[in-house]
Amino acid sequence: MRNGMSHGARSAMFAPLGQLGRVEAVTARLVDAITIGLLADTERLPSEAELAARFGVSTVTVREALVGLRQRGLVETRRGRGGGSFVKAPAGPSAHTWQETLRGMSLSELRDLGDHYAAVAGAAARLAAERSSAEDIERLALATSDMRAATGVEVARAERQFHLEVAAAAQSPRLTQEEMRLQGLLWLPPHRSAYGEHREIAAAIASGGGGEARRLTEEHVFDAVDRLAELHLDLVAH
């Protein structure tokens, strides 16, 4: 897997927070970024002061959020020269965690969340076809190749990063932030045809076919939600 995400995706991740409950909001933003691979394993986080300035919160808020991340084993702090807070990315999504999350949802809640995700991802794909730069197209091609080369736990990460790159190519920080938030709520299980579907979506975006890019993306998401619905029914039956 290649390292690093596009500037647009990272900028959206560090965008100011617009709600109360700031410690929880900072924690959630960083947990999502680490979980989906936007922040890479061993990557050094910006200083507490810089994180506070980017998120629009106090350094005390950032410090409390980092304490929570350390307790969850997602960040480690090193002292001395070359010290700071460093990412400890999980090896992959915990089967127990996503199964319990899925079990706790009703089928109607799952479908509703899937509908929302399809709408967001589809809109991002349409806008990406209209607004993407040559660099965006190149990053989408690389993200598509990542899915083809990925094995094991990297497959799920490649799936999520592809959709983040699409959202970043839409040049909409709000869409990118919503994509990140939804990825933290809804795990889309990759499948054998995912590489081909990613390739078709990337090709539609590259050709400027906004309607086609949106249709392909929505179908891609709905297929994944159908598989989640089957898993949900299997989990609640046992």
Closest CA to 207 of 141, 117, 120: 141
Are the beta carbons of 49 and 59 closer than 8 angstroms?
A: yes
Instruction: Flag the least confident range among 141-145, 148-152, 197-201, 211-215.
Output: 148-152
Q: Give yes or no: residues 122 and 205 share one domain.
A: yes
Residue 169 sits in the same domain as residue 207: yes
Instruction: Indicate whether 18 pLDDT > 60.
Output: no
The answer to whether residues 115 and 230 belong to one domain is yes
Question: How much of the chain exceeds pLDDT 90, in percent?
Answer: 49
Enter the DSSP assignment of 142.
H
Per-residue pLDDT at 92: 57
Compute φ and ψ for 75, nearest 5 degrees.
Answer: -140, 145
Which range is least confidently modeled, 12-21, 146-155, 173-182, 214-223?
12-21
Could you tell me if 3 and 40 are in contact, meaning their C-beta atoms sit under 8 angstroms apart? yes
Pairwise pLDDT comparison (223 vs 191), residue with the higher score: 223
pLDDT at 28 over 90: no
Last residue of a domain, one of 87, 107, 135: 87
In a domain, 176, yes or no: yes
Quick one: 31 and 126 in the same domain? no
Q: What's the total number of domains in the chain?
A: 2
3-state SS assignment for residue 39: coil
0.95 exceeded by pTM:
no
CATH of the domain at 47: 1.10.10.10
Does residue 109 sit in the same domain as residue 222? Answer: yes
**DSSP notation for 70-94:** HHTTSEEEE-STT-EEEE---SS--
Strand partners, 230: none
Q: What domain range includes position 226?
A: 95-237
Q: What is the pLDDT averaged over residues 212-236?
A: 93
CA angle 175, 179, 185 (to 5 degrees): 145
In this prediction, residues 34-54 reach a mean pLDDT of 87
Domain end, chosen from 52, 87, 122, is at 87
Q: How distant, in Å, are the alpha carbons of 140, 144, 201 from that of 135?
A: 9, 14, 16
Residue 161, token pair as written in the block: 């990063």
Do 140 and 161 belong to one domain? yes
pLDDT > 60? residue 74: yes
Rounded mean pLDDT, 123-142: 96
- Same domain for 224 and 106: yes
Q: Is the pLDDT of residue 89 over 90?
A: no
Half-sphere exposure of 146 (CA within 13 A, CB side): 26
User: How far apart (Å, rounded) are the C-alpha atoms in residues 32 and 4?
Assistant: 15
* Number of CB atoms found within 10 A of residue 37's CB: 21
The better pLDDT of the pair 122, 26 is held by: 122
Last residue of a domain, one of 87, 105, 136: 87
Whether the CB-CB separation of 11 and 164 falls below 8 Å is answered with no
